[in-house]
Chain A
Amino acid sequence: MATLSAVLATTHHPFYLKATTAPPEERMPQADEWKRKVEAYRETLTAAKPDVLVMVGADHFHQFFSDNYPTFLIGKQPQYDATFYNETREFGIPPYLLEGHEELSGYMLQGLMDRGFDFSVSHELKIDHSIICPIITTRPDADLPIVPIYTNIFAPPLPSPKRFWDLGRAIRSVIDEWPGEQRVAAVSSGHLSLELGGPRQFGETGPDPVFDRQAIEWLRTGDIDAILANVTHESMTASGNATHGFMDLILMMGIAGPIEASYVDSLDLFHTMEAYVTWYPEGAPE
């Protein structure tokens, strides 16, 4: 059976690459600290020696629009182009060509259908920054095949936080049953409190630092009961109009299970707080 070698849940700040590669005179004061924290976090994936990455993200109206916006979607392709024109324009993120793991995509699709998650599937999926940002931060060589999974945290009505947790549990169950000796790592990016296109955007901190610290503590302790008792679509909206990306972090905790995280770090930045969380459900790498 496959080994789940690591589960990583992180925020995706699309300006990381730009901020840490800008010429010295244009660098933001926190750029060096940010880079150090990201590189330390990257080690938690490198140490797990993964062979394939199951990656969870969300399309930000790049490929998918409201004429047909999938609730849950998986890609099943030999390769994936990544980074849309308007992401390069705004964030300075370059294009990538990632290898896909078609066999695991197909196994995952069928396994999730069998577990009551009727996924959409794409055979011409282009990856956006929700998956490329964690590639840049945790696997910048982009040298592993991926299985991309998209969730709707973006175009209401959205699935419930409980549904994201349950989907995480189902993904874990499929990985556990996947025949073979490969080491699978699951990597996702989402958000803590976040405001986009509203009055609280681009502040000195994220819109709700109190929620951010609480959310990181819930992830650290694997406290899904507290999350499901406290986090609703309405509470996330109150923390910032784009906070619903937190549900992808709940999903990742679902893959790990209700256990303590092995690695937790954060960084208070302008606009939003960064979180870097890693679980080793089958034991920490040696």
Chain B
Amino acid sequence: MSKYYVNKFLYQVDGDPELLAAYKADPAALLERWELERGQWLNRSERTTWLSFTDREREALIAHDYVTLFELGAHFFLSLTIFIAIYDEDYASEFGPLSFQREYGANLARWMGTDYPSVAL
């Protein structure tokens, strides 16, 4: 498991409008492209050779599955921000303001009153 690598994906994609649009349109293709072009790259010339996703992490990212990402300990701010970017506008126009954020919280309801999975690395 690599919470760091999951967070790196969320961080980089959320901060880049072109990557974000691609992640919304075709998550599997974008994930593959990101791993090839960016995931293991520290900068344009230096590589971090050992970083990789587990199958569960990869599947959760492809499925936009923020519940699993929460349970894997992905950073809550990164997950919330990127999925708001992807879903908020569509939800708000159909179901009203904050409807996506409230559904997101409701889907995590089983964690209410318990210790959440740690986001510490």
Contacts and interface: CB of A to CB of B under 8 A. Distances in A.
Nearest to A238: B115
16 contacts: A61-B75, A61-B78, A65-B11, A66-B4, A67-B42, A85-B17, A86-B85, A89-B17, A90-B84, A154-B77, A155-B75, A197-B79, A199-B110, A200-B105, A201-B104, A270-B98
Interface in B54-104: 66, 70, 75-81, 84-85, 98, 101-102, 104
Contact of A199 (B7, B15, B111): B111
Interface in A137-158: 154-157
Interface in A85-111: 85-86, 89-90
A242 interface: yes
A61 B11 contact: yes
A84 interface: yes
Nearest to B42: A67
Interface string A237-280: 10001100000000000000000000000000010000000000
Main secondary structure of the interface of B (DSSP, over half): helix
B120 interface: yes
B119 interface: yes
A174 B28 CA distance: 52
Contacts of B14: 86
Given A65-B8, A85-B15, A90-B81, A199 B105 contact: yes
A284 interface: no
Contacts of B36: none
Nearest to B119: A156
A86 B77 CA distance: 12
Nearest to B15: A86
Given A67-B42, A197-B104, A202 B98 contact: yes
Interface residues of A, number: 28
Given A61-B77, A65-B7, A197-B80, 15 more contacts: A60-B77, A66-B4, A66-B7, A66-B121, A86-B14, A86-B15, A89-B85, A195-B105, A198-B111, A198-B116, A199-B105, A199-B109, A200-B105, A202-B101, A202-B102
B29 interface: no
Nearest to B115: A237
A90 B76 contact: no
Contacts of A60: 77
A196 B11 CA distance: 16
B76 A242 contact: yes
A206 to B, nearest CB: 13
A66 B85 CA distance: 22
A86 B85 CA distance: 8
Nearest to B83: A197
Nearest to B77: A196
A86 B108 contact: no
B85 A90 contact: yes
Nearest to A60: B77
A242 B80 CA distance: 12
Nearest to B43: A67
Contacts of A203: 105
The 4 lowest CB-CB distance pairs between A and B, nearest first, are: A197-B76, A197-B80, A199-B108, A202-B101
